[in-house]
Amino acid sequence: MNFSKLPSSELQHLLLQGQLKFRCGFFSLCLQSDLPELNNLIQRMYANYSLENSEFSDFQINLSPHGIVHRFWRPQVQFWVDEKAPFKPFPRDTALPFLEWGLNWCIATHAHHYLMLHSGVIEKNNQALILPAWPGSGKSTLAAALCQRGWRLLSDEFGLVRPQDGLLAPFPRLIPLKNESIVVFRDFAPDAVMGPEYPKTRKGTVCHVRPPTDSVERDQELANPRWIVFPKYRKGAIMNLRPIEKTQAFVTLSGHSFNYDLIGLRGFQTLANLIDACDCYTFEYGGDLEQAVAQLNALADGLI
C-alpha cells in the first residue's frame, strides 16, 4: 500500500505514534510528527511511496515543535533522527523543507556503503545520466525537467554508486526547486505536482516537485551509468554540450563526492570504473528547458 491509499485519519495516527514506515530506494524510513499541518502535505507529496511493515528502519525521524516559548512566539520545529537533533530548529512553517534537508543529511553522513556523488541521476533505456554540480548549477531543474519527458528519476541530489558492481541505486525524493527555476519549471510542466512555495529559506524560495509515479514505483531498479554531464546554468548562455577528457572528469567528479576521501580504495576504484563506463561532458545552458531536454535526449538517442 502507498500513502495515497491510506485514509488520512490512519496516516495521522501513524505519524503521531511514530509508526509511519516507508521505503525510498534501498532505505527504510520511519517518520513521527505531531505537526497537524504536515499530514495533508505528506499524503500529497509522498503519495507514491510504499508503506512498510518491517520492524527495522534505517532512520527514525521525528519532527516536533521546539520549546515552550516558541510554540506561541515565532513557532519552531526540530528535526530528530534516532533521538538526536543534529540541527538548530527551523521556523515551523518550513517543516517540509526541513524534513527533506534532514533526510539528505542522514544519507550523506551514513550511506558510506555507496560512493556518494552530489549529483542528479536520471535514466532512460537502462542507461543513466549523471548530473554532478554545485548548488545553483541547475541540476535539480534539469533532472526535474527530464523526468517530465520520459526519463526516470533516480535522484536529484545523490548519485549512489555501488562499489561491488558500479550500478546506480535509486533514491527518488521530492525535487526542491529554487527561486527563478520554480516559474520556469511551472511553465515547462504545468501538470507536475508541486508543493507550496517556501519563501525566505536559506536558499531563497523553495518549492518541491513530486517525483513521477513511475520513478517511485521503480525505486528498486538499479541503473547502468552511461553519461556524466556537468551542467552549468548561466542566464542567457548559448547552449553548449562539450566532451571532456575522462581524466578531467575524474578530478572534477571526485570533488563532487560526499565521501570519496572517506571510503579510501573503494572510492578510487569505484570512481575509476564509473569514469571508464561513461562518456563525459560539460553542459552550459541558458535556462531554455525545452532546448536543454532536446539536447540531452539527442545525446541519449545517439544523435550526438
Partner 1 sequence: MRWRYNKLCQLHHWSNDVDRQFIFNQLSGQTHVLSRLALDILELIKHEKIVDDDGVWSQLVDLYENFDPSDEDMRQHVLGMLVSLDELGLIEPSRSL
Q: In the complex, which residues of this chain contact partner 1 (CB under 8 A)?
A: 245-247, 250-251, 254, 261, 264-265, 268-269, 272, 275-276
Q: Based on C-alpha coordinates, what's the Rg of the chain?
A: 19
Chain-centroid distance of CA 99 in Å reads 12
The smaller minimum CB distance to partner 1, of residues 174 and 253, is found at 253
Helices 95-110 and 36-45, packing angle to 10 deg: 60
Tell me the C-alpha distance between 36 and 15, whole Å. Answer: 9
The smaller minimum CB distance to partner 1, of residues 52 and 279, is found at 279
Smallest gap, in angstroms, from Cβ of residue 265 to partner 1?
Answer: 5
Spatial contact of 208 and 177, defined as CB atoms under 8 Å apart:
yes
Beta bridge partners of 194: 209
